[in-house]
Structure 1
């Protein structure tokens, strides 16, 4: 029995030794596994940090590329704009040179045209004085206004020339149709209706129709007409005032160079 117990003890001791040895090996293996896991996780963390840095660098690179493209596009636009400015400046320089040349020519033309305008004004005034005596106050006032304008340094030559041409145009239009006014034949005369037939005839009619007459251009005086012309003169006045339709008028007109 004693031997049997001794053998069992020896076996148990061997088992314990094996178990102890296995436990130590297992612990070593577990430590190695843990170490391997830690190493793997560390590498993964390192990889994540590296990928993060790569992503950040990639984002920064894209942003830098976008800024570069924007700057390049803006530079191209500025170059194009600068080219347009160069062309514009060249065109403006040519226009300025042309304007200077025109200004020099204008100054020469102005010195030459002023005497001509004064002669035209004198001619207009003489024409009004020697023409048929109609609208005398209005026409003389137009001439006087032109003289005041010519004497005003604030009025440009171009404006004076335009007014002078307008005055000539008005005088031209007087000869193209009928005209009517109510005025006195002379300073002491009674007011009558005056009919103008272009510039070829000037007639008057007393307001009551008792007398009619015509202007004698050669004698520079009015003379009485026969009563038979009163209806036509009255009708002519109505046509001139646009209260009657145009119709044929029978009126005495002087032949060129002949007495009326």
Structure 2
């Protein structure tokens, strides 16, 4: 009877040990499964990240090629546009030289500044083009309305009156002598003394010290354009 009890007790202990080992194996299995799942998730994340990096690298390569093409296009544009702007500047300079002799210092300084700008390697092509167009616009605006400035004619200080680009007159400060610019001869000639009043009125209008009104002044007739 005692032997049978010992045998049963041993069997129970063996079963308990076996269960313990099973439980341990089950715990290890669950731990390994969790580690496998974590590793799989990390692998998936790394795969997604690698795909994203590849896509980013592809886009960067495309952008680099696009930028390179733009740079090359800009270089070609600069090579073509800069000579054109230089020709435009030369045309403007010749026009100023042949135009009525008004605001000579201001206009010459503007041309000199443009010449320096065109040869400045630090200045952008856009800035050069903008300033050149600005100079052209200023010259266009000179042809509209009246202009007045203090100058010197025949050694006397005078007030000059510009009527657009049609005519240029000068009047001494004492209003005792008047001139008009003769474009054909390229020099000042005496004007009819009766013009002094109109010139003086035009000067006041140009300086906004008198309201706009009708001026009676001789201007050169426009020449017909030859076909």
**TM-score by shorter chain over 0.5:** yes
1:194 matched to 2:160: yes
d(CA) in 2 for partners of 1:127, 1:253: 20
Structure of greater relative contact order (alpha carbons < 8 Å, 6+ residues apart): 2
d(CA) in 1 for partners of 2:133, 2:62: 39
User: What is residue 102 of structure 2 aligned with on the other side?
Assistant: 134
1:86 matched to 2:58: yes
Answer with 1 or 2: which has the greater Rg: 1
> Structure 1's 240 and 60: CA in aligned 2 closer, same or farther, altered over 3 A?
farther
Q: Which runs of 5+ in 2 are unaligned?
A: none
Greater share of residues in helix? 1
The alpha-carbon deviation at position 168 of structure 1 amounts to 3.1
1:223 matched to 2:195: no
SS at match of 1:205: strand
SS at match of 2:222: coil
d(CA) in 1 for partners of 2:177, 2:136: 34
User: What is residue 135 of structure 2 aligned with on the other side?
Assistant: 167
Instruction: Provide TM-score, normalisation by structure 1.
Output: 0.64
1:77 matched to 2:77: no
Q: Count the aligned residue pairs.
A: 221
User: What is residue 237 of structure 1 aligned with on the other side?
Assistant: 203
The alpha-carbon deviation at position 42 of structure 1 amounts to 5.1
User: What is residue 180 of structure 2 aligned with on the other side?
Assistant: 214
1:181 matched to 2:149: yes
1:55 matched to 2:22: no
SS at match of 1:252: coil
Q: How does 1:34-53 map to 2 (within 5 A)?
A: 36-37=8-9, 39-40=11-12, 43-53=15-25
Contact 1:201 1:214 in 2 (8 A): yes
d(CA) in 2 for partners of 1:68, 1:136: 83
> Structure 1's 105 and 215: CA in aligned 2 closer, same or farther, altered over 3 A?
closer
> Structure 1's 206 and 73: CA in aligned 2 closer, same or farther, altered over 3 A?
same
